[in-house]
């Protein structure tokens, strides 16, 4: 009975599960270091201790896997220029407390530099919205890249800001000494949404909060997993499945409580099951299918929830 149920599940999969922005991209993944699952520059980032991680440089390095002609140093220099201009702008503003500091930074990033949310109907299919270099080029982004750029700038300004996640959504926190953190909703101009507000807006189950799957302040090494998922979502539809698997698995290793890598690993193995079944390997297909279900059960046990405004295969957190 179990085998029959599994095979029925495999047959129900139909078309490939991974159909996000990667399928539309015009760039080709960098295969210069094909002998290893990660290019040497990516491995160097992954080997860094917490206190040596530069978010901007890390995000650009991961992006370079799918944009091999990208000049990482040049893009990093553009972040430095934003930082210099933001600092000058902020020095002209009152800074009596951290609220003033955030308001001044928000004023520069949104009003002066011009960062804004991409509200176009095809925004979720635009690859630039998933990588830091894209947002630096267009000044547009979504809930993965807008907080990414904000955090990259804030870190180089020396501000105590850290990332956190809701279902398929990233926000930031100003970490106050001996006081609760101040949430920063970057997609709303740097405004404030309380934890209770996120729970309501994203229908987050209490299990997801209690397990730490959501609303937990992330360390930078944990945040690397959030960033590198975007690379995997380009590699997989481009035919580099094993490389994509390595990125999914590394993201899971970096943060065992992040449900997103678990769900994508589940989808990965369900896709492998479908392809194995179509090729006539029913036993292998069943094994892959059960492996995928096991990952998805882990995610559900941690309190996985879908963003009501987005579907998992079509975009990042």
How does pLDDT run across 54-111, given as a tens digit for each residue?
999 999 999 999 999 999 999 999 999 999 999 999 999 988 899 999 999 999 999 9
Instruction: Quickly count: other Cβ atoms within 10 Å of residue 17's Cβ.
Output: 18
pLDDT tier at 195, thresholds 50, 70, 90: very high
Indicate whether 314 pLDDT > 90: no
Domain boundaries, the chain: 2-314
Q: In this predicted model, which residue has the larger pLDDT, 315 or 300?
A: 300
Q: What pLDDT was estimated at residue 296? A: 96
pLDDT digits (tens, 9 = 90+) for 44-56: 999 999 999 999 9
Q: Who's near 88: CB < 8 A, 6+ residues apart?
A: none
Place of tokens 């991961």: 62
Q: Which of 2, 1, 12, 68 is nearest to 277 (CA)?
A: 12
pLDDT digits (tens, 9 = 90+) for 210-264: 999 999 999 999 999 999 999 999 999 999 999 999 999 999 999 999 999 999 9
Note whether 33 and 40 are within 8 A (CB): yes
Q: How far apart are CA 269 and CA 263, in angstroms?
A: 10
pLDDT > 90 fraction of the chain, expressed in percent and rounded:
82
Is 140 exposed, middle or buried (CB count within 10 Å of its CB: 0-12, 13-18, 19+)? Answer: buried
And the tokens for 138? 């267009």
> Which SS3 state, helix, strand or coil, does residue 14 take?
coil
């Amino acid at each position: 009975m179990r085998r029959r149920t599994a095979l029925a599940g495999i047959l129900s999969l139909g078309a490939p599960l991974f159909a996000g922005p990667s399928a539309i991209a015009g760039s080709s993944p960098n295969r210069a270091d094909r002998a290893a699952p990660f290019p040497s520059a990516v491995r160097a980032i992954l080997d860094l201790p917490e206190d040596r991680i530069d978010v901007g440089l890390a995000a650009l390095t991961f992006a370079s896997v799918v944009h091999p002609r990208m000049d990482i140093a040049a893009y990093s220099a553009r972040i430095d220029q934003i930082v210099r201009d933001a600092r000058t702008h902020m020095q002209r503003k009152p800074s009596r407390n951290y609220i003033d500091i955030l308001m001044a930074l928000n004023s520069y990033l949104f009003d002066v530099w011009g960062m804004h949310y991409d509200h176009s109907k095809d925004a979720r299919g635009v690859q630039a919205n998933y990588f830091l270099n894209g947002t630096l080029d267009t000044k547009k982004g979504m809930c993965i890249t807008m907080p990414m750029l904000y955090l990259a700038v804030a870190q180089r300004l020396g501000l105590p800001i850290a990332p956190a996640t809701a279902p398929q959504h990233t926000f930031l926190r100003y970490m106050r000494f001996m006081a609760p953190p101040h949430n920063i909703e970057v997609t709303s101009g740097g405004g404030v949404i309380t934890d209770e507000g996120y729970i309501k807006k994203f229908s987050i189950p209490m299990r997801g909060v209690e397990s730490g799957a959501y609303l937990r302040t992330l360390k930078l090494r944990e945040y690397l997993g959030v960033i590198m998922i975007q690379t995997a979502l380009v590699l997989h539809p481009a035919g580099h499945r094993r490389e994509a698997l390595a990125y999914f698995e590394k993201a899971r290793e970096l943060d065992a409580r992040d449900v997103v890598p678990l769900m994508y690993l589940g989808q990965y193995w369900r896709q492998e099951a479908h392809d194995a079944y179509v090729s006539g390997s029913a036993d292998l297909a069943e094994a892959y299918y059960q492996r995928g279900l096991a990952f998805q059960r882990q995610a559900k046990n941690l309190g996985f929830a879908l963003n009501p405004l987005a579907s998992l295969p079509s975009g990042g957190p």
